Amino acid sequence: MIMYSSKKLKAPEHQVAGHSAKEGRLGPLVDGEGRFFKPFQRDFRGKNEDTFYEFFSSNKNAPNHIHGYFPSYQGTQVVEASNGSGKLPHIVLEDVVTGYLKPSIMDIKIGSRTWYPNISQEYFKKCMGKDRGTTSVSLGFRISGFKIFDHEESSYWMPDKKVVHGYNVDEARLALRKFVSSNSLADSIPDCAFASEIYGGPNGILAQLLELKAWFETQTLYHLYSSSVLMFYENESVLMKGGDDARARVKLIDFAHSFDGSGVIDHNFLGGLCSFIKLIQDILESSDNNNETNIFQFKNGH
Amino acid sequence: MIMYSSKKLKAPEHQVAGHSAKEGRLGPLVDGEGRFFKPFQRDFRGKNEDTFYEFFSSNKNAPNHIHGYFPSYQGTQVVEASNGSGKLPHIVLEDVVTGYLKPSIMDIKIGSRTWYPNISQEYFKKCMGKDRGTTSVSLGFRISGFKIFDHEESSYWMPDKKVVHGYNVDEARLALRKFVSSNSLADSIPDCAFASEIYGGPNGILAQLLELKAWFETQTLYHLYSSSVLMFYENESVLMKGGDDARARVKLIDFAHSFDGSGVIDHNFLGGLCSFIKLIQDILESSDNNNETNIFQFKNGH
């Protein structure tokens, strides 16, 4: 077991969903050198997630390019918990946004349902309430949280989680447009100026999502409930270098509710992923006609 | 409105799921000349299904090859109901198995959930109970009923619907194997002798399902709840002519719970369809190695 110094650990700057370590609560920590420490969740969930990472990271049945969509796993480590409750076991993962200066980030929980067979009636009701109360049922996914760098204000816009969880289909679609827009986030008509460079292209978000989709069409290793697609890109690059190195990336995270696929594909995840892909494709198609104009205007300060 | 004589109407010989007109109950009728009369279901459902067929049949946004996967619509007609309750409106459709002498038929209800937004708590509970009590939740689809022509016995095997609805994942997979097997249906190890000619090939079931899948990945016209894939083929051909003209076909049926897609793909149907496709692919792959041997044995009476 590798020992890390726990002295430098702090709450992640770019976390957009899930439990936060800020204000003395229990949440994940980062060491600023590329490692992300996720405290074991109570009951079976922490152990289940750790087991998922342990088995997946050495699973040769998942192709190499698919492994790249998951944070790399570096074992477990007992470190001082963020809430001052003493030393607790943490899962040590790659901090996927290390090296990003001004990332825009969005966490999208995939699947129309977050419950699964053989759960308590109480947990079923809780999940079902959230699934029906968000866009999970209607869209097949829900946005859990995001932060977008506002190029006009040179600051971040990060709406309250409760606002985000209350989004309907149109609001979720709007957020996906704002995520790749250059104009003021208060503006109701996003210009989608970065759509083609962030969502599009051979290495863009869409290409990565399609690669994941192809895998989910056949993989029966895992069923992932309440897992998320995390997508992010570097605004500093878009600002300074014309987007040549925006490093738009997709990572899958959160596996506390992952299970053996038992020979069946994860149709719940796949269906939601396809719906998410369709909305990204819609934005790319609608921005195709005016995208170059928008970039030109943006880069010239209009 | 075209008027059909209602004198010759009778219960369909090859119905495998849904309400049956036999024994004096209300159910669909056929005229033996290619027309299928489906009585309007009570409450909004009959009207909803008729509206679906009326709009879809003239919808130019659905490509021609996709229209071929739906029974053609021939309007509505008031005819004598099968249960003797007098004249009732019926939806007049193409009788898709007309011309098949010894069809094997399976009805597969697609989607992990049969409920949808804005329904009563009572209907939600009823649907959820069935979805959790069958393979809908686990597999993303459930087999609603089937009949398989048994080549050894020269008769049909059609298990009771209650037995079929009680299938677990393994039993559903087994039924899909038996559907394309030549050996006795009482045998626990189906030979899948017809898999490559019925499921496989450029015009087989799998190719048709993949064409539908491609459409469902982008179509936002309709969301189909409780709709079924009906698949069937001609055993007479397999028996007599070596399977050159087995006419393996996929049709989508049952649209009493179809709704406008509102710009979102039908991720519930698509996810279930992909899961069904994967099971068909599994059977084709596992039968690849021994299929020719099986056909040879079968044709030589072993």
The rounded distance, in Å, linking the Cα atoms of A95 and B222 is 41
The rounded distance, in Å, linking the Cα atoms of A242 and A228 is 29
The rounded distance, in Å, linking the Cα atoms of A244 and A237 is 7
Phi then psi for residue A288, to 5 deg, are -55, -40
Interface of A with B in 170-189 (CB under 8 A): 173
pLDDT (0 to 100) of residue A295: 45
| pLDDT beyond 90 at A1 | no
Residue A278: which of B265, B272, B275 has the nearest Cβ? B265
Residue A274: which of B173, B265, B282 has the nearest Cβ? B265
Mapped to the 3 state alphabet, what secondary structure does chain A carry?
CCCCCCCCCECCCCCCCCCCCHHHCCCCEECCCCEEEEECCCHHHHHHHHHHHHHHHCCCCCCHHHHCCCCCEEEEEEEECCCCCCEEEEEEEECCCCCCCCEEEEEEEECCCCCCCCCCHHHHHHHHHHHHHCCHHHHCEEEEEEEEEECCCCEEECCCHHHHHCCCHHHHHHHHHHCCCCCCCCCCCCCCCCHHHHCCCCCCHHHHHHHHHHHHCCCCCEEEECCEEEEEEEHHHHHHCCCCCCCCEEEEECCCEEEECCCCCCHHHHHHHHHHHHHHHHHHHHHHCCHHHHHHHHHCCC
* Cβ within 8 Å, pair A270-B271: yes
Nearest-5° angle of CA A75, CA A45, CA A108? 90
pLDDT (0 to 100) of residue A96: 96
Best A267, A268, A277 member to test B by mutation, with max B CBs in 10 Å, is A267
Low-confidence ranges of chain B (pLDDT < 50): 1, 291-302
The rounded distance, in Å, linking the Cα atoms of B229 and B227 is 7
**Interface predicted TM-score (ipTM) of this complex, two decimals:** 0.91
Cβ atoms A149, A115 nearer than 8 A: no
* Cβ within 8 Å, pair A169-B264: yes
pLDDT-derived band at A4, boundaries 50, 70, 90 = low
pLDDT-derived band at A229, boundaries 50, 70, 90 = very high
pLDDT-derived band at A173, boundaries 50, 70, 90 = very high
Residues in B closer than 8 angstroms to A281, CB to CB, are 218
pLDDT (0 to 100) of residue A185: 79
Q: What is the pLDDT of residues B172-184, one digit of tens each?
A: 999 999 999 988 7
- For A67, A277, B152, the CA distances from A282, given in Å and listed in that order, are 28, 9, 53
Cβ atoms A132, A125 nearer than 8 A: no
Residue in chain B closest to A223 (alpha carbons) equals B138
- For A30, A52, B35, B82, B195, the CA distances from B77, given in Å and listed in that order, are 70, 58, 11, 14, 39
Name the least confident of A198-212, A238-252, B79-93, B217-231: A238-252
Phi then psi for residue B169, to 5 deg, are -60, -45
pTM: 0.92
Cβ atoms B177, B192 nearer than 8 A: yes
Cβ atoms A244, A198 nearer than 8 A: no
Nearest CA-CA distance, residue B278 and chain A, Å: 7
Q: Greater confidence, A289 or A228?
A: A228
Q: What is the mean pLDDT of residues A263-287?
A: 97
Interface of A with B in 139-168 (CB under 8 A): 139-140
| pLDDT beyond 50 at A293 | no
Per the prediction, chain A carries an average pLDDT of 90
